[in-house]
Amino acid sequence: MAREAVKETIPLMTPYKMGQFELSHRVVLAPLTRCRSYGNVPQPHAAVHYSQRATKGGLLIAEATGVSATAQGYPETPGIWTQEQVEAWKPIVDAVHRKGGVFVCQIWHVGRVSNNGFQPDGQAPISSTDKQISPDPESSMVYSKPRRLRTGEIAGIVDDFRRAARNAIEAGFDGVEVHGAHGYLLEQFMKDGTNDRDDEYGGSLENRCRFAVEVIDAVVREVGAHRAGVRLSPFADFVECADSDPVALADYMVRQLNMHEGLLYCHMVEPRMANVDGRRHIPHRLLPFRKAFNGTFIAAGGYDRDEGNKVVAHGYTDLVGYTGGYLYPTLTYLEGLSLARP
Q: CA–CA separation, 148 vs 314, rounded Å?
A: 44
56, 98 contact by CB (below 8 A) = no
Q: Are 168 and 106 in contact (CB under 8 A)?
A: no
> Rounded distance, CA 146 to CA 123, Å?
9
Q: How far apart are CA 270 and CA 71, in angstroms?
A: 25
List active site positions.
184
**In this structure, are strands 274-276 and 279-281 parallel, antiparallel, or unpaired?**
antiparallel
**Alpha helices (H) in the chain, listed in sequence order:** 45-52, 83-98, 154-170, 185-190, 205-223, 246-257, 287-292, 305-313, 329
Q: How far apart are CA 82 and CA 104, in angstroms?
A: 18
H helix or E strand, kind and range, residue 71:
none
d(CA 143, CA 204): 27
Strands 102-108 vs 59-61: parallel, antiparallel or unpaired: parallel
Q: Are the CB atoms for 306 and 318 separated by under 8 Å? A: no
Instruction: Decide: 160 and 67 in contact? Cβ < 8 Å.
Output: yes
CA atoms within 13 A on the CB side of 110: 28
How many Å apart are CA 217 and CA 260, to the nearest integer? 8
Would you say 107 and 164 are in contact if contact means Cβ atoms under 8 Å apart?
Answer: yes
**Cα-based angle 213, 216, 218 (whole degrees, multiple of 5):** 105
